Amino acid sequence: MKTPMAKRGEVTPRWHLVDAGQELLGRAAARIARILQGKHRPTWTPHVDTGDFVVVVNAEKIRVTGKKEQDKVYQWYTGWHGGRKERTLRQVRERKPALLLRSAVKRMLPKTRLGRSMFSKLKVYPGPDHPHAAQRPQPLALHTLRNDG
């Protein structure tokens, strides 16, 4: 018996539309990362990008639990001396609401060239409008997907 392995040109990605209006941040990010990697397909292959495109709308309405709104801190370094910057989740949500979901998904993908390729297929928009109507994305309910394995 031979195990079928997907090849780069054989996989045709589909487009999914996710409404993040009432989703929890971490759970939504984990399920979106699974779709971007292609692990929802029976033809998943570790060294080939078998994932689909995901368009996320209403990212500004994504929920978090507990006191994460004021306790969770996003920090980065500018490259200058004393250039460490910090912002709370609430401050990030006010300035760039799509950044919350993008950074959560990015950290769940592989840290390789393949992971960067997968991440480029994620499109996040703060409001209900998106410019990808020509691709006819199919609505996808995240709460029906399971994260096994």
pLDDT tens figures, 112-128: 999 999 999 999 999 99
Determine the Cα angle at 7 with ends 51 and 47, to 5°. Answer: 65
pLDDT at 1: 79
Question: What is the pLDDT at residue 4?
Answer: 83
pLDDT at 3 over 90: no
| pLDDT tens, position by position, 127-137 | 999 999 999 99
Which pLDDT value is given to residue 146? 66
Q: How far apart are CA 123 and CA 108, in angstroms?
A: 16
Model confidence at 8, pLDDT cuts 50, 70, 90, reads: confident
What is the CATH topology of the domain spanning 15-144? Ribosomal Protein L13p; Chain: A; (3.90.1180)
Query: Residue 149 — pLDDT band, cuts 50, 70, 90?
Result: low
Mean pLDDT of the chain: 94
Beta strands in the chain, from DSSP E residues, in sequence order: 15-19, 53-57, 73-77, 84-88, 122-124, 138-139
- DSSP structural state of residue 9: T
Residues 64-99: tens digit of each pLDDT: 999 999 999 999 999 999 999 999 999 999 999 999
CA distance 144 to 111: 27
pLDDT at 145 over 90: no
Closest by alpha carbon to 85, among 94, 95, 93, 75? 75
State pLDDT tens for residues 14-62: 999 999 998 999 999 999 999 999 999 999 999 999 999 999 999 999 9
